[in-house]
Amino acid sequence: MFLGPPGAGKGTQARELAQQWGVPQIATGDMLREAVAAGTPLGRDARSYMDRGALVPDDVILALIAERLAKPDAKGGFVLDGFPRTIPQAEGLDRLLRDLGHELTRVIFFDVSEAELLRRLTGRRSCPNCQATYHVVSAPPRREGVCDRCGTALVQRADDSEATVRNRLQVYAQQTAPLLEHYRARGILTRVPAEGSIEQVREAVRDAAGAGR
């Protein structure tokens, strides 16, 4: 399981490690969007909440995870990306994994300072036309403010403004502190410094996870 605040780089590392191990990366945000787009029963249920701006209940998300873990490619393991975020979610996940005969073997926390997260998140720019994403410092477009792919003017998403990012990080920190203790008490939590290069973080993650399984 990969835990960490928005902008910590969990998704990049989760995809690479899952590919190396030949197991699925399970990211609840992606699963929700796919289920809604496919119009599955759980997707329709989730959409009823999302359309009115409400949080999707834990039981719906856990049902999506259960459905995904029942597929053949998850029998040999999986990398869970960004879930759970609260103690009730963690407890629900514990029960689900126990019922399915899975065991959570390692929880890796991506530790990044608030200053670095603000730099990463507020510097993001996206193309409203083709959805390409950039960063003003680490991945800028060839022409400032213009999408390389389609030439559309880039925008900063509302949820990437500094005030919004600070609030998101504060909420995450409040939720995550007890969650980290939950897994630390079980002896399966490892903290990984996640402010270096992608290659440095990759090496630290593999050391923490046991690259050879």
Active site residues: 10, 85, 124, 157, 168
Pull the structure tokens for residue 31.
């699963």
Pairwise CA distance, residues 5 & 173, whole Å? 8
CA distance 54 to 191: 32
Question: For the stretch 112-148, what's the b/e string if a residue is b when 16 or more beta carbons lie within 10 angstroms of its beta carbon?
Answer: beeeebebbbbbbbbbeeeebebebeeeebeeeeebe
Residue located via tokens 């990463």: 120
